[in-house]
Amino acid sequence: MSKVRVRFAPSPTGALHIGGVRTALYNYLFARHNGGEFLLRIEDTDSQRFVPGAEEYIIESLKWCGIKVDEGVGVGGPHAPYRQSERKDIYLKYALQLVESGNAYYAFDTAEELNALRSACEAKGETFSYDAKSRGSLKNSLSLPAEEVKRRIDAGDQWVIRFKMPENENVEMDDIIRGHITINTSTLDDKVLYKSADALPTYHLANIVDDHLMEISHVIRGEEWLPSLPLHFLLYRAFGWTDSQPLFAHLPLLLKPQGQGKLSKRDGDKFGFPVFPLEWHAPDGEVSMGYRESGYLPQAFVNMLALLGWNPGTEQEIFSMEELCEQFSLEKVSKSGARFNAEKAKWFNAQYMRAASDEFLAGLLLPQLKEAGIDTTAERAADAVAIIKERATFPKDLLDLTIYMFRAPESYDEKSVNKFWKEENVAYMRELREIVADLEVFEKESAEHIVREWIEAGQLPMGKIMNCLRIAIMGIGQGPDIFSICEFIGKEETLRRIDAALAKIQTA
């Protein structure tokens, strides 16, 4: 295999949907796995669909995910520029080459004329198609006399160059994921390749020319591009580039959580989960939520996305980027659509939260504590998160889970109080208070040991006593290991909180 060179070639038409991020990710993983290069090319030849800010958004999204671009927009490289609008001058030559070789032709039909034809067909219940059947009766260099064609071009009439789709030919194609595909050209139309009006190529021409010039070895892209594949194969043939043509892999769709239909940009708002990596502020003012702003760690997001369509063939679910690079292969990408699962996305985040270092999580917690009016050190915050990190799904959970470690409860959960703060249990709390007061060394293991011995010796109700202790210390009846929390707040504060609870809470 020649050097692996793959590209992510988004059009800056809006925020990058997570399906697009997955395409970028699979390209990146494939490049890394094969010691190849990953390119970023911006396909912005459709000026009508251009959205300001979209390119920056794409670049920032890739950065956030840890997908490093080797060559391309923002990085440079031997084939610069990588933004198609800056490569405008390259494409006409190639379009003309196809006209000369008889694979393409000039067409002069105006937008109005074509619209009228479309409407006329619709009225008859038919669909208009500019193709082998209709081209002979339309205004183009195949139907008009040569002098007329020349006269129109010289006079500055607007024209487009269309691909001359061969008639009734079976195009035989191979796709790494979908296998062998045969399509008959009778179902295909004569696509526009170049427009004189803005001196710009369309997607098809620019895409093929650039993949060729940039020596792309594999085209890995979404399934929505599969219908364009026959045209792309035929373009390679028409240019005489078949020998160096890239291999193709069309990725399965990302499906809605219910499994029916493509996961759309609207589904996020509808079902309450993000479909964009980062928050997106559309030019019209609409704001869509992002994974980053919703508290997802980029590693969790990438891990979740990697498994939406790729199956390692083992039980392993947690993968670092390095492991993904090591194990990824296109052969293990499934043909069928991958159903998005918002709960699973949360599960991944929780896994990465619990695996994160205490110092990292402390960094997330500290500003939240500050906002809540609590001033503490990074060390204290790290000790606090160490106790509760298994219970956090998102960074924002950290505050709720640790606040009582920094501040005595101001109120006590009514339900827990009603259930446990009974006269007999309160009597045990008084005894427990004295045991705590007598402890010389106040640390988790020894305190727990002594308390347990007392409970066992008297055959006391362990659960109830522990729940009352929790109520006194945290204000609620459940939570992480209570002895860890007592150790964290210290002996004096533990006693203070027990005393306060004994004084303030009425027995149920």
Q: Which residues are catalytic?
A: 265
- Residue 207 contacts ligand GLU per CB under 6 A: yes
**Those residues with Cβ within 8 angstroms of residue 405's Cβ, 6 or more apart along the chain or in another chain:** 384, 387, 485, 488, 489
Q: Which amino acid type is present at position 128?
A: F
What residues are paired with 8 via a beta bridge?
A: 40
CB of 20 to ligand GLU, least distance (A): 7
Print the SS3 string covering 325-359: HHHCCHHHECCCCEECCHHHHHHHHHHHHHHCCHH
State both tokens at 23. 């395409």
DSSP 310: B
Stretch that binds ligand GLU, among 218-226, 285-293, 457-465, 473-481 (CB under 6 A): 218-226
The DSSP code sequence of 205-230 is HHHHHHHHHTT--EEEEEGGGGGGHH
Classify residue 430 by burial, with Cβ atoms within 10 Å: 0-12, 13-18, 19+.
exposed
One of 22, 87, 221, 389 touching ligand GLU (CB under 6 A): 221
DSSP 260: S
b/e per residue, 476-489, with b = 16+ CB within 10 A? Answer: bbebbebbbbbbbb
DSSP 106: E
- Residue 191 contacts ligand GLU per CB under 6 A: no
- Tell me, by CB under 6 A, how many residues bind ligand GLU: 9
Nearer of residues 233 and 421 to ligand GLU, judged by Cβ: 233
Is residue 461 within 8 A of residue 425, CB to CB? The reply is: yes
- Residue 43 contacts ligand GLU per CB under 6 A: yes
Residues 110-129 that bind ligand GLU (CB under 6 A): none
3-class DSSP assignment, residue 104: strand
3-class DSSP assignment, residue 184: strand
Nearer of residues 91 and 203 to ligand GLU, judged by Cβ: 203
Stretch that binds ligand GLU, among 28-36, 219-227, 298-306, 322-330 (CB under 6 A): 219-227
Stretch that binds ligand GLU, among 106-114, 175-183, 217-225, 294-302 (CB under 6 A): 217-225
CB of 246 to ligand GLU, least distance (A): 10
Nearer of residues 138 and 231 to ligand GLU, judged by Cβ: 231
- Residue 225 contacts ligand GLU per CB under 6 A: yes
Print the binding letters for residues 423-462 with ligand GLU: x by CB under 6 A, - otherwise.
Answer: ----------------------------------------
Stretch that binds ligand GLU, among 5-13, 32-40, 326-334, 386-394 (CB under 6 A): 5-13
Stretch that binds ligand GLU, among 3-11, 412-420, 470-478, 495-503 (CB under 6 A): 3-11
Nearest to 37 by CA among 75, 84, 86, 65: 75
Question: How far is residue 29's CA from residue 9's CA, in Å, rounded to a whole number?
Answer: 16
Nearer of residues 94 and 106 to ligand GLU, judged by Cβ: 94
* Residue 437 Cα distances to 23, 329, 429, angstroms: 61, 62, 12
- Residue 10 contacts ligand GLU per CB under 6 A: yes
- Residue 202 contacts ligand GLU per CB under 6 A: no
CB of 262 to ligand GLU, least distance (A): 14
Stretch that binds ligand GLU, among 7-15, 93-101, 259-267, 286-294 (CB under 6 A): 7-15
CB of 366 to ligand GLU, least distance (A): 41
CB of 10 to ligand GLU, least distance (A): 5
State residue 169 phi and psi, 5-degree precision.
-120, 140
Nearer of residues 194 and 421 to ligand GLU, judged by Cβ: 194
- Residue 9 contacts ligand GLU per CB under 6 A: yes
Nearer of residues 337 and 475 to ligand GLU, judged by Cβ: 337
Nearer of residues 10 and 475 to ligand GLU, judged by Cβ: 10
CA angle at 459 for the pair 478 and 388, rounded to the nearest 5°: 20
Question: How far is residue 342's CA from residue 174's CA, in Å, rounded to a whole number?
Answer: 34
Number of H helices, E strands in the chain: 20, 15
CB of 250 to ligand GLU, least distance (A): 10
Nearer of residues 10 and 337 to ligand GLU, judged by Cβ: 10
Residues that bind ligand GLU (CB under 6 A): 9-11, 43, 203, 207, 219, 221, 225
